[in-house]
């Protein structure tokens, strides 16, 4: 297998691509901060006026595509196979696309209209446009009608009494926006017009919903109706609220399905504070107290999930929502007793905003494309359409805070980053969601490790989003063109059956003496007995610019070829170097990302692995068309035999041109095993480093502490 000379593509790995698909190209200039305020905002230059300018920039990209002021907001498309509507989409989803464009763009327009009621974009009066389109969306006789709940039920699927609809999501966005500019839009309607909109909202508020964060959509729709004098069933509201409360896992995070992701941030900890403000504080004091407590608990660690530049990590589903993960900071200030730091909250929110809006490749004809940076089919999910990225508009809820609010008046601070010195790390290990993140003082990056993950075997997209060993804010996850080699994942190639397994389940065992313990299972299924599952015990800990791994094989079937990938590396002209120290090997990549910034990655192997190699890929990296994936290999050939049990490695990342020093590539002084054969079959492992530090790796006891 000629890995290092072969260029493989991720196009097929992303799923089918239908007719009309074309590559997303940068056709829109990026946003830049005019008149930066370095006194108030020394890190980003962005003040409130800068945020308003950013909102207008996004709205201009939207409305430059609106040729007729009466036309619905249909965003330009370049992808037709994965996102909806497509040839497999039921007819009613066409109207859902209309509604997404309307409601999610309103996230940005509503707070700007409150600020500037006469605002026009591309010659269109935004107040007139949204006022008219909302009425038309609720009118069965209008071509822009998006279908009310009763119409949905009448269209079929009667055999499924629990069906749910995309419109429920957008109704929640709608009521938030009507609240944000209430006096300008909602109050301008006549009583019959209000009643028509309220009836539309009520249908979805009282209708079926998904039993996870979607319940909050119903709660906010009901709360809006109650605020505006429409009667609601309080028992229905209370039932949704108690269910949401019982999804709580700890540390501010809610379980939203089997895994944890940013939905705890941009859904639970945005909608719950709004619900408290609109309804809970008045009507459900006990429930609202819990939601406030949990939202404040999240603020204790959430800033650490962003890096020194405020960058959002590419992790979990719906990565097209980008900087929406910062919306919980602004929402925290809707609480009676918020705990968020105003200066830090604005710094992170602004940093993440610029992470995306400052890049031309984020946009397709003025619209944020279906990707993280450039168009990236491997992360597109079928519930998304071209308008879906405007969920990022939730970050603009900060403009609902008045100009005199501390969020806008306090000087930017960078929190713990300001005290974190070169060579130091700051780590948070959250047992509730099984998440561990580390801030690296040397390179300013944040790495996130997930510990409670379960995906269906073979769900490559789901595993890419959730099941990688680590996620890095400056090295977003790389898809795989070859299933035998995955970034930041182990793969097992069965040499008897020519099959490949990827870990689809990760169990969390917590942190001990600075070492995080987890276990990954390959092709996990509840139908399989525990002892018929291939597994690897994971032990890792941070070093100055990356993570050090000492993982132990837990296999029952061989012969196998084991591979472990590093982070994907953008290839825009890359120098590839190899270094050795005794039996230890390192492979170093030196190059630049698509924006010309220096990048370096080094993978070192110390035990268990026999070789390092690399694979060239195309369309597998969120930043660049071409990329390189470094990986390590090991062969386990005997079905039963006392062979090497540990795989010891390290991956370092650097955004600077200075070479890695030998002591960084090979930081170990010695590896000491408990067993006389020095294979690591039993007993602890002691790693001694050249700087005098020691780490003991001991998996004894984790068997009884595995959590999902």
Determine whether domain 48-409 maps to CATH 3.40.50: no
pTM of the shown model: 0.96
Average pLDDT of the residues in 53-60? 98
Q: Where on the phi/psi map is residue 298: left (φ > 0), alpha (ψ -120 to 50), or beta?
A: alpha
pLDDT of amino acid 175:
98
Instruction: State what percent of residues in the chain have pLDDT above 70.
Output: 96
15-29, 343-357, 491-505, 578-592: range with lowest mean pLDDT: 15-29
Q: How many CB atoms lie within 10 A of CB 669?
A: 14
What are the start-end ranges of the E strands in 316-388?
363-364, 367-368
Q: Which candidate, 329, 317, 191, places its Cα nearest to that of 273?
A: 329
Mean pLDDT value across residues 178-189 = 98
Identify whether the C-beta of residue 519 lies closer than 8 Å to the C-beta of residue 533: no
- In this prediction, residue 94 carries a pLDDT of 80
Which residues lie closer than 8 Å to 293 by C-beta, 6 or more apart? none
Lowest mean pLDDT among 15-29, 98-112, 133-147, 278-292: 15-29
Q: pLDDT, tens digit, for every residue of 125-163?
A: 999 999 999 999 999 999 999 999 999 888 865 567 788
pLDDT exceeds 60 at position 26: no
Give the residue-averaged pLDDT of 555-561.
96
pLDDT digits (tens, 9 = 90+) for 208-225: 999 999 999 999 999 999
Mean pLDDT in residue range 213-239: 98
Q: For residue 603, how many C-alpha atoms fall within 13 Å in the half-sphere facing its CB?
A: 26
In this model, does residue 574 exceed pLDDT 70?
yes
> What is the pLDDT, as a whole number, of residue 19?
35
Please, which pLDDT band fits residue 27 given cuts at 50, 70 and 90?
Answer: very low
Residue 10: per-residue pLDDT = 83
pLDDT of res. 13:
45
Task: Provide Rg for the chain, Cα atoms.
Answer: 26
Cβ count within 10 A of residue 423? 12
Q: Which residue has the higher pLDDT, 254 or 16?
A: 254
Which band of pLDDT confidence, cut at 50, 70 and 90, is reported for residue 15? very low
- What Cα–Cα distance (Å) separates residue 60 from each residue in 96, 365, 371? 23, 11, 20
Q: Tens of pLDDT along 291-312?
A: 999 999 999 999 999 999 999 9
- Where do the domains of the chain lie? 48-409, 475-698
Contact present, 98 and 139 (Cβ < 8 Å): no
Protein fold of 475-698 = Beta-galactosidase; Chain A, domain 5 (2.70.98)
Query: Is the pLDDT confidence value at 18 over 90?
Result: no
**What residues form DSSP beta bridges with 430?**
435
Range name among 153-162, 168-177, 449-458 with the lowest pLDDT average:
153-162
- Per-residue confidence (pLDDT) for residue 16, from 0 to 100: 37
User: Predicted confidence band at 523 (pLDDT cuts at 50, 70, 90)?
Assistant: very high
**Distance between CA atoms of 32 and 363, rounded to whole angstroms?**
14
């Amino acid at each position: 297998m000629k890995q290092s000379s072969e260029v493989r593509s991720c196009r097929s790995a992303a799923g089918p691509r239908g007719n009309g698909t074309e590559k997303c190209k940068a056709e829109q200039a990026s946003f830049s901060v005019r008149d930066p305020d370095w006194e108030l905002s020394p890190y980003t230059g962005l003040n409130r006026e800068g945020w308003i300018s950013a909102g207008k920039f996004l709205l201009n990209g939207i409305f430059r595509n609106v040729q007729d002021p009466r036309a619905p907001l249909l965003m330009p498309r370049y992808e037709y196979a994965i996102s909806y509507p497509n040839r497999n989409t039921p007819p009613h989803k066409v109207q859902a696309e209309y509604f997404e464009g309307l409601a999610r763009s309103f996230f940005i327009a509503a707070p700007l209209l409150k600020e500037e009621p006469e605002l026009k974009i591309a010659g269109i009066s935004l107040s007139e446009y949204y006022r008219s389109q909302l009425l038309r969306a609720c009118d069965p006789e209008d071509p822009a009608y998006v279908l009310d709940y009763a119409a949905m039920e009448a269209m079929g699927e009667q055999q499924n009494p629990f069906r749910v609809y995309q419109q429920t999501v957008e109704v929640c966005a709608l009521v938030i926006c009507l609240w944000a500019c209430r006096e300008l839009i909602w109050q301008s309607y006549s009583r019959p017009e209000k009643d028509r909109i309220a009836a539309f909202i009520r249908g979805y508020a009282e209708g079926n919903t998904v039993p996870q964060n979607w319940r909050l959509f119903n709660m906010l729709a009901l709360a809006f109706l109650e605020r505006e004098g429409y009667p609601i069933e309080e028992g229905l509201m209370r039932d949704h609220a108690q269910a949401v409360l019982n999804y709580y896992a700890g540390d501010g995070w809610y379980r939203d399905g089997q895994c944890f992701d940013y939905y705890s941030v941009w859904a639970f900890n945005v909608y719950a504070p709004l619900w408290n403000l609109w309804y809970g504080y008045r009507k459900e004091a006990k429930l609202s107290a819990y939601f406030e407590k949990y939202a404040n608990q999240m603020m204790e660690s959430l800033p650490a999930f962003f890096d020194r530049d405020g960058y959002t990590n590419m992790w979990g589903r719906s990565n097209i929502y980008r900087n929406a993960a910062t919306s919980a900071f602004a929402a925290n200030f809707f609480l009676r007793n918020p705990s968020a730091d105003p200066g830090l909250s604005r710094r992170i929110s602004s940093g993440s905003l610029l992470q995306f809006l400052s890049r031309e490749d984020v946009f397709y004809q003025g619209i944020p494309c279906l990707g993280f940076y450039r168009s990236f089919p491997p992360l597109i999910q079928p519930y998304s359409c071209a308008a879906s990225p405007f969920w990022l508009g939730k970050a603009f809820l900060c403009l609902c805070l008045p100009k005199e609010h501390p969020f806008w008046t306090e000087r930017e601070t960078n929190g713990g980053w300001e005290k974190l010195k070169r060579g130091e790390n700051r780590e948070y290990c959250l047992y509730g969601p099984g998440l561990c993140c580390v801030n690296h003082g040397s390179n300013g990056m944040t790495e996130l490790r997930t510990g409670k993950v379960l995906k269906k075997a073979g769900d490559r997209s789901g595993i890419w989003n959730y099941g990688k060993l680590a996620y890095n804010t400056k090295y977003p996850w790389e898809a795989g063109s070859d299933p035998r080699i995955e970034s930041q994942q182990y793969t097992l190639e069965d040499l008897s059956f020519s099959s490949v397994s990827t870990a689809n389940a990760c169990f969390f065992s917590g942190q001990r003496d600075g070492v995080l313990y987890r276990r990954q299972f390959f092709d996990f299924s509840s139908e399989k007995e525990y002892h018929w599952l291939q597994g690897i015990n994971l032990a890792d800990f941070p070093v100055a610019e990356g993570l050090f791994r000492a993982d132990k094989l837990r296999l029952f079937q061989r012969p196998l070829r084991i591979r472990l990938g590093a982070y994907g590396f953008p290839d825009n002209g890359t120098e590839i170097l190899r270094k050795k120290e005794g039996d230890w090997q390192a492979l170093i990549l030196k190059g630049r990302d698509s924006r010309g910034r220096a990048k370096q990655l080094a993978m070192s192997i110390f035990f268990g692995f026999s070789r390092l190699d690399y694979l060239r890929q195309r369309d597998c990296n969120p930043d660049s068309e071409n990329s390189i994936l470094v990986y390590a290999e090991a062969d386990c050939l005997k079905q039963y035999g006392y062979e090497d049990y540990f795989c010891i490695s390290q991956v370092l990342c650097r955004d600077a041109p200075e070479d890695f020093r030998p002591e960084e590539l090979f930081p170990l002084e010695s590896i000491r095993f408990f067993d006389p054969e020095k294979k690591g079959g039993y007993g602890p492992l002691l790693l001694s480093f050249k700087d005098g530090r020691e780490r003991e790796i001991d998996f004894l006891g984790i068997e009884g502490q595995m959590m999902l």
